[in-house]
Structure 1
């Protein structure tokens, strides 16, 4: 999955650089404080999360970064080789990026590892699927750079949480380099927590819950629509897995995954039971919609990682195009043969609050399983989702603009997710991503596609634009919630050196 390159060092077996044999590094004394802890106001050594220390440092130009204070970090272990520390930091960055972490947080983790072993100054860099870190020993010495590629990133929040906790242990200065490297390799080989059967059922559960969330009804027809959406999502997932086994690009996987929901929706519209085929199609979109990659792209852009944001956005647009091609092909056939596929032009409000709240929680639970979230984190995720959807429903029913309501709800989800993560000492993404599932613009996107099929391009463009605006509102809300959390619990004074205007490198 990766391809390591070490400048200035010959390649060894399996593509890893060879390094001179030296005395194995010793673990720092257990009484020392590492990069994850700083003295409190009274010098009591109160622990501060390493992201609070590394993010301000990361946002400072490399030339202006001050070395870690002598009292704030572990003493340099005897025999620590900078190349091994760089390789360790590189592996941390690779696993975090492959597990779905944001680019800025990946760089902060790599910087925390380098500072824990007093290998500085270092400059980590993340660009979409490329991770690199450079170390400058001295003004007249050649720099040492290590980099690797993440070939097939797959979101895995259980592994993300495991690596995050491991970085915390490294940052407090209590782990030798070989031990940390061994635990990271074990984390890479760790299997998914949930079985493949549960994974498939979660795809169906997500689509079925979306039909209840959009429709807001609990009669017999609604449950038939629910069952139809579940079947469509299961068939779509099997088709997608079949395409993936033949090593076809992800674009075609999304095309075939979106077709069954559209076909079943068209068939339901031809019966005399007045079943809402449009709700089945919209529910199926929730199961295949690449909503979070779009949100992640916007977040990276807000953090100043413009190349990474552009690449992620382009990837999301390609996947979205696959969904649109699959759905619109079937819609075109159905509409030209008399299918009744009415749709709402705005996101639904709280038509049936108890049912829709339960559906939002169920959708979040299925989404969290698909993201391989740890079971211990699920209650906090569900609570966060309920709070976000309730906020959105109240604002929309009070006459608020859906895009603004989406942004405010996402801000609450982001803020509470950050606070939950701080209490648990883990990454915030597992607490936030699945909780945003009910707020994804599936119904707005469907309305835009249907308008194009009906020959109404202006209305279609308006629908697509609203969907993009809602995705941007999600990203801005989550990012704002994160920054507010950092303001509520700021790092101690002296954590960051003075900043220089315009000194940040944009990636």
Structure 2
């Protein structure tokens, strides 16, 4: 600043207020004589020396006196942002920032399934997620972020298309990102859209990638293979490079189904036949129901090959069993024709989609849950349309179909338990499950029907309460088996709930509506909806109970924080 002031032009008015004018120069003091001095003159001995030149220099009144300047040390910090901490600030700084309640402690070890570890992280807000031990996969400079996000989306696509719940899909996507060092990522799952966002730090721009799920397929063998891949990726002791992960994912996508087409058609027929025996049918009903279900399955495959939507596929598949039941009644054969139609409905009811939809709603994924339940409603309407068309023409031609036979289902405990196990077995084949899981899910289905029969027929409890208890036991066993094998719980629960599906209530509701008894039909359909919701909620509740009370190796319960909401009165 002093140099800047020196470059200004000199003027008579530009002078310090504490200096005497140039004309009032102080005469030298002669000893013995009094001299008159200016009252602004500095005392003798305090005059500051002037630079060469006789003329007084003009200085700024804000300039620091000589000798009071701050010495500049070499290497002093340059001028930076006003928000950057000074160089002398030595307090410990966290990687991002500290939440108001502090950084929570997460005591999850690698012995815990990766689903629980990742679900625990996902249920925390981003600001409260702790940075766990680094598990980065070291490659040549590390993998590129877009490639990691692409692998994450492809794995999530296979899981979502296979019927996995939205929360488990997000947990898998988070595990894949974190295994390659992308800790600050946010996966988002809806019914048909997957997206993941990664932000390196609070000041860097986020990177977002998305993928759309176009087609859905039921193949639990592929689902189990994807879970094994995610388990290997999330294991800190197992190094799976990005190229190896892509190679394994390509093999999973190219994997052939474990059962051929003719086996699936035969499984659909046996499923309907077992369901017909479960609701009171005999040998002739067993054979007729199997033939009707196989015809419906072939017609559905034909419609799918022609590109018709699934709504029409369900409509066409529901017609042959209903037509055979009406034909048996019209020929006055002494059999339970309603069991034939009920068995065909068991093979078509979308129990898998219903359980997944209710589970998404209970875990907070309301958009995905609404879409899945809407899909279930469309499938159900398609089944209703196909059966109602056949029943309407059957009533017109004089077929004696009686809804009151719903109260006369015979109790045959041993035969019904065997039929329920056969139903679960064939359902597992239709779901393309691994052969190692078929036996376990078959036993789980037999246990489910045993519990339902003991509570409903012996204990005389409500069918809704009995169904919910049996489904809760299925969910509990399925979750325990999945944790033991570090796999998905769907292969152990979906087929086991087959004997509990509300096929009878659905059929008798439709029959009452076809006979212009709308009030009675709506009562039956409301019962069917209640049973379906009891199954879905029971399965989810059993899974949550297993996670709630299951202890980790260190004796600490797995922390799973959920959203807290105020009571909306």
TMscore range, shorter length: 0.7 to 0.9
- Does structure 1 residue 213 correspond to structure 2 residue 278? yes
1:317 counterpart residue number: 377
SS at match of 1:133: strand
CA contact (8 A) 2:474 2:496 kept: yes
Give how far 1:200 is off. 0.7
1:198 counterpart residue number: 263
Of Structure 1 and Structure 2, the greater helix share is in 1
C-alpha change, 1:177 and 1:310, in structure 2 (3 Å) is: same
Give how far 1:342 is off. 2.3
Give how far 1:458 is off. 1.4
1:476 counterpart residue number: 537
CA contact (8 A) 2:548 2:558 kept: no
Give how far 1:288 is off. 1.4
C-alpha change, 1:446 and 1:144, in structure 2 (3 Å) is: same
Give how far 1:273 is off. 2.8
2:209 to 137, 146, 158: 146
Give how far 1:336 is off. 2.5
2:287 counterpart residue number: 227
C-alpha change, 1:348 and 1:99, in structure 2 (3 Å) is: farther
1:138 & 1:113 partners in 2: Cα distance?
19
Deviates more, 1:368-377 or 1:110-119: 110-119
C-alpha change, 1:130 and 1:350, in structure 2 (3 Å) is: farther
SS at match of 1:137: coil
Give how far 1:357 is off. 0.6
Deviates more, 1:268-277 or 1:376-385: 268-277
CA contact (8 A) 1:64 1:497 kept: no
2:155 & 2:404 partners in 1: Cα distance?
45
1:348 & 1:47 partners in 2: Cα distance?
52
SS at match of 1:95: helix
- Does structure 1 residue 433 correspond to structure 2 residue 497? no
SS at match of 2:403: coil
C-alpha change, 1:139 and 1:350, in structure 2 (3 Å) is: farther
Matches within 5 A, 1:146-185: 146-173=209-236, 174=238, 175-185=240-250
1:433 & 1:446 partners in 2: Cα distance?
22
C-alpha change, 1:500 and 1:468, in structure 2 (3 Å) is: closer
1:296 counterpart residue number: 356
C-alpha change, 1:500 and 1:291, in structure 2 (3 Å) is: closer
Give how far 1:67 is off. 2.1
Give how far 1:490 is off. 4.4
TM-score normalised to the size of structure 2?
Answer: 0.77
1:31 counterpart residue number: none
- Does structure 1 residue 134 correspond to structure 2 residue 197? yes
2:179 & 2:246 partners in 1: Cα distance?
14
2:157 & 2:291 partners in 1: Cα distance?
36
What whole-Å deviation, never above 9, does each CA across 1:226-270 have from its counterpart, x for those lacking one? Answer: 111111111111111111111011111111100111111001002
C-alpha change, 1:403 and 1:499, in structure 2 (3 Å) is: closer
C-alpha change, 1:181 and 1:490, in structure 2 (3 Å) is: farther
1:257 counterpart residue number: 317
Give how far 1:74 is off. 4.5
CA contact (8 A) 1:349 1:393 kept: no
Structure 2 unaligned segments of length 5 or more: list them: 1-105
1:288 & 1:151 partners in 2: Cα distance?
22
1:94 to 157, 174, 198: 157
2:428 to 368, 376, 383: 368
CA contact (8 A) 2:279 2:410 kept: no
Structure 1 unaligned segments of length 5 or more: list them: 1-37
User: Which fold has the larger relative contact order, with Cα–Cα distance below 8 Å and residues 6 or more apart in sequence?
Assistant: 1
C-alpha change, 1:441 and 1:53, in structure 2 (3 Å) is: same
SS at match of 1:124: strand
- Does structure 1 residue 353 correspond to structure 2 residue 413? yes
SS at match of 1:288: coil
C-alpha change, 1:344 and 1:354, in structure 2 (3 Å) is: farther
Two-structure CA RMSD over aligned residues (Å)? 2.1
SS at match of 1:147: strand
